[in-house]
Structure 1
Amino acid sequence: MIDLEHEEHADGEVTRQHTHRRELLTAVQQATAGLLTTIEAMDETSVHEPSLLPGWNRAHVISHLARNADGCVNLLTWARTGVEHAMYASRQDRDADIAEGALRSHRLLLEDVAAASGRLTEAFRTLPEPAWHAEVEVAPGKWVPAHRIPRIRLFEVRVHSVDLNHGFGFDDIPREEIEWLLNDAVRQFGGRPDVPPLSLLVEFADGSSSVWRLGTPDSPEHRVRGTPGAALGWLLGRTGTQQLAGDPPELPPWL
């Protein structure tokens, strides 16, 4: 006997996954377009001025975003072929490529990140359906299905667009996207043993709110409240606690 209810549920889940993937890929495209606009507005002087990241100027951030796009293409190649293609050959090679790229001119930096982003768009477009479910290693010991890669790329593009410190801030990230980014930040950060227990209430501009809990509940929980931009910036160590309410604790470094 065919279980029609089960089949309808399975079909609905597949449809939901496909819809979410399309939304993510559209978000990546829009975030990339915004990134390129931000970089294009720089000049030869400003592109080599400091970013919000210690030790990196804006050119380092742009170079990193280009190499991250190529790294994502490597992971999608792995998913498509089943043959291991690491995101980066090694941490040392990654750092050397970023440092070398940061020496380029404004125009070459823009062309590099645009070309790398285009290669990634094509890799997303041509990935066969079964490959989206293949597991790949995004960091030592951290395996994810390939359908997580668009979300990983979105996180990189949006957060590092803020790090460029050139007119784009966390408050400029669209409502749905920043909720995704908060979810991902809490997933990566919240279970670490050095993160104090806290309840983070985020109040969105449309009047809705969400609560995230971080840390292990082995001591009284800190209660923190703020806007999505202030909350995400604080979790990632980019902003302080000035725009937060409650008793925000000191957080360990993001990385």
Structure 2
Amino acid sequence: MTTSDWLDECTDLLLRTVDGLADADFDAPSALPGWTRRHLVAHVHYNAEALRRLVSWARTGVENRMYASVEQRNAEIEDGSKLPVATLREQVHSSARALGADLAALPEEAWRTEVVTAQGRTVPATEIPWMRTREVSVHAVDLAAGVDFADLPPGLLRALADDVLGKRFAGGHGPDLVRWLTGRSDAAPALGPWL
């Protein structure tokens, strides 16, 4: 499977999971500390809008950052979490469709354009589908509504693990991770949040 296949499959999985929630279920906690499912659905919607800004940057060559600031991102999520459930459902669907259409329409030459992620990494636009795949797959699990990592394609699981390990090694956790993964430590290292 390709990243594009994973993106389509996991977007569908996340949206079906959202659609399977009763309205009252949106107020329940997600698997992310301090976030309800409302927060998580709002975040997934605003993430699609943020990635659409990167696609626009790639298409036009005009810088268009994902977020103006961390504060702006956090405020969007908090404000979005207070919207009516029907609005949240509609937004998460419409932004997913719009991002998909934007990616499908991106000209071949635009995929090489460098853009900047929310974490400040400069990457080619070819990374945008992976960034979204990671969001929708992990957050489908984070909704705590019956989806597990075992429900994701094996190739995607490997890609996610490689991505996570790369970030953890870059953050200085390599020795502790290798110690634990090779059975030289009984306890997993304390890593803190990732996504």
TM class by smaller structure: over 0.9
Structure 2 match to 1:249? 188
Q: CA, structure 1 residues 140+33, in 2 after alignment: closer, same or farther (shift >3 Å)? A: closer
1:142 and 1:192 map into 2 onto residues whose CA distance is 14
| TM alignment of 1:25-174, pairs within 5 A | 25-174=4-153
Q: How many residues align?
A: 194
Superposition TM-score, scaled by structure 1 size: 0.71
Structure 1 match to 2:156? 177
Q: Give 1:99's aligned amino acid.
A: E
1:59 and 1:196 map into 2 onto residues whose CA distance is 37
Q: CA, structure 1 residues 223+39, in 2 after alignment: closer, same or farther (shift >3 Å)? A: closer
Return the structure number with greater relative CO, CA threshold 8 A, min gap 6.
Answer: 2
Structure 2 match to 1:223? 181
Instruction: Name the larger-Rg structure.
Output: 1
Superposition TM-score, scaled by structure 2 size: 0.92
Q: CA deviation at 1:223?
A: 3.2
Q: Give 2:186's aligned amino acid.
A: D
Structure with the bigger percentage of helix:
2
Structure 2 match to 1:202? none
Counterpart contact for 2:54–2:125, Cα < 8 Å: yes
Cα deviation, 1:175-221, whole Å, max 9, x if unaligned, reads: 1111111111112222212554333xxxxxxxxxxxxxxxxxxxxx3
C-alpha RMSD of the superposition: 1.8
Structure with the bigger percentage of strand:
1
Q: CA deviation at 1:26?
A: 2.0
Percent identity of equivalent pairs? 34
SS at match of 2:122: strand
Moved over 4 A (4+): none
Q: CA, structure 1 residues 69+191, in 2 after alignment: closer, same or farther (shift >3 Å)? A: same
